[in-house]
Amino acid sequence: MKSLLFSICSIICVITFQAQEQTFADFEWSELTNNRVSGSLSPILAFPSESGFTMYSVEKFGSQFYAPKIINITKFDAFGKPTSAIDFKLPIRLLKDAALLKIIEGDNKLYFFSNIAVKKDGKNVLYAQIYDNETHRVSDPIELYTIPFEKINNSGFFEIASSSNKRTFAVLVNQLFEKKTNEAITVLTFDENLNKLSESTHTLSFESDRAYNESLFVENDATVNIIKKTDTFKKHPITTIITVKGNDVKEQQVSTEGFYISDSKVISYNDSQFLVGFATDNAKPTVSVGGAKDDSFFIYNISEGNLIKNQKWSQDTRKRVLGKGYLNLKIKDVLMDNEIVYLIGDCYSTDSEEIDGKNFEYNYTHRFGPGIVIKLDINGSVIYETPINYGEDYLNRMEVLGSFFPFLDNGQFFVLANEKEYILKNKKIVFGSEKANAKAIVLKSFDDEGNIKTIPFWNSETGGENQYATFAPTQTILIKDKAFYIYATGKEKHKFGKMTLK
């Protein structure tokens, strides 16, 4: 009798555990709809709230390869149902359409930056259009800056960045290139309404033809940092930080022999700026092996001008990752929790192949994985480095399914991703079966030592085998606490959803 009771209790416990395992998250999905309908061809989610979210999509206006762009913006309710939509074009000057440069999400606003260089009037003009999410309206084009030029192939160019608090914008203007002269730049800052705060022009120590390979960052206090790379195809590429504050400019070379930066990002802490990222000790084989093979991560104090830490991968990382470094490692995100820094990397590369019989049309293969998470403090003390072993290829529009979504909750680091169900269940699958494509959303939690626990959400399926849509981790936005809006897409269908973690 005791044995029978024990067996019954064991069965109940197993059933209870399985039920709990399947309810770590609740899902509310909208209906599957056609993802090839104009207005939602390349959706990006923004402005999450308890009442809904906004989606914008940049698309061609017409079928020609060089067709101008049109932007569609749609508002959705909390159940993924569209409530209102608008569309607009980029500016036109002298019958020429603007080229889209960048879209920045601000405080309940979207900023669309574009430019038009027209030989007839000899002007390269930077424009901005502001979408207000409250009024659901787009402003008339604003002319932010004009570069006069004589030749269209020497008309200068622009770079734009915003601060972390979304209240300050910076524009870097690379002025016209002139032989046997040094590079001239103009740096402007603007407030959230794009009212100009400052403008300064500087002549750098670089030759005028070295304006490429730059990244722009602006901090909440309007400090502007330009990360410039030169000699990128030589044995010893150089990385220089150019800091602009008002009318003051400062240059400092960061890279040294054996320390070559591949990807980096500027962060701020206690009114000081830091550069964090990935590096290699040998940049020469970059072309031959197909990309930079990173073998270290680093943190550099820009304000004080010193390298705090450049640490090689641990033996455990080297064992778990093919080879002794990461190929094509890019910064996916940098998250901060007071003085703690989470540096998150994702290997990404893409190849293109021309489609037979079609002009200027290509198939693109996007490769993701593996990834890595490094937790360290602002003084360079490393808490852990944890590789994330995965690797998948996606074709064309399915690129959105790649990678993962990192976030912090009460000081703990998590990753949302999708993984194949047959791998999670350790099952063999018949090649060609629809079930080979079935995926579940998983939550990866990292403990204080960087150990990963993976929890699959078996109730996260979005559709049947033949018209399933897979969760897109790169299209996940936090509403608040543990509630998210998420996007799922398949070959010809997609849907929106709301996910609430328990």
Instruction: Specify the pLDDT at position 293.
Output: 81
Percent share of the chain, pLDDT over 70: 90
Using alpha carbons, select from 134, 195, 201, 196 the residue that is nearest to residue 172.
201
CB 501 within 8 A of CB 443: yes
Whether the predicted pLDDT of 13 surpasses 50: no
pLDDT of residue 19: 41
Mean pLDDT of 410-417: 95
* Residue 89 binned pLDDT confidence (cut-offs 50, 70, 90): very high
User: What would the DSSP string read from start to end of 424-490?
Assistant: HTT----TT-GGGG-EEEEEEEE-TT--EEEEEEGGG--S-TTS--EEEEEEEEEEETTEEEEEEE-
- Average pLDDT over the chain, rounded to an integer: 89
Location of structure tokens 């293969």: 365
Q: Count other Cβ atoms within 10 Å, centred on residue 237.
A: 20
pLDDT level of residue 290 (50, 70, 90 thresholds) = low
- Nearest CA among 265, 259, 329 for reference residue 292: 329
CB–CB of 224/189 below 8 Å?
Answer: yes
Q: Give me the mean pLDDT over the 305-331 stretch.
A: 89
Q: What is the pTM of this model?
A: 0.91
C-alpha 466: how far from its chain's center? 31
Query: Could you tell me the end-to-end alpha-carbon distance of the chain, in angstroms, rounded to an integer?
Result: 38
Instruction: Evaluate whether 80 touches 29 at the Cβ level (below 8 Å).
Output: yes
Q: Is the pLDDT of residue 244 over 90?
A: yes
Contact of 328 with 321, CB cutoff 8 Å:
no
pLDDT band at 337 (very low <50, low <70, confident <90, very high): very high
CA separation for the pair 363, 452 (Å, rounded): 35
Q: b vs e for 275-313, b when ≥16 Cβ sit within 10 Å of the residue's Cβ?
A: bbbbbbeebeebeeeebbbbbbbbbbbbeeeeebbbbeb
Q: Read off the pLDDT of each residue in 5-22 and give the average, rounded to a whole number.
A: 42
Q: How far apart are CA 140 and CA 63, in angstroms?
A: 26
| Confidence tier at 245 by pLDDT (50, 70, 90) | very high
pLDDT of residue 135 exceeding 80, the answer is: yes
Long-range CB contacts (within 8 A, 24+) of 59-68:
61/89, 65/359, 65/360, 65/361, 68/97, 68/98
What pLDDT does residue 287 have? 46
More confident residue, 167 or 292: 167
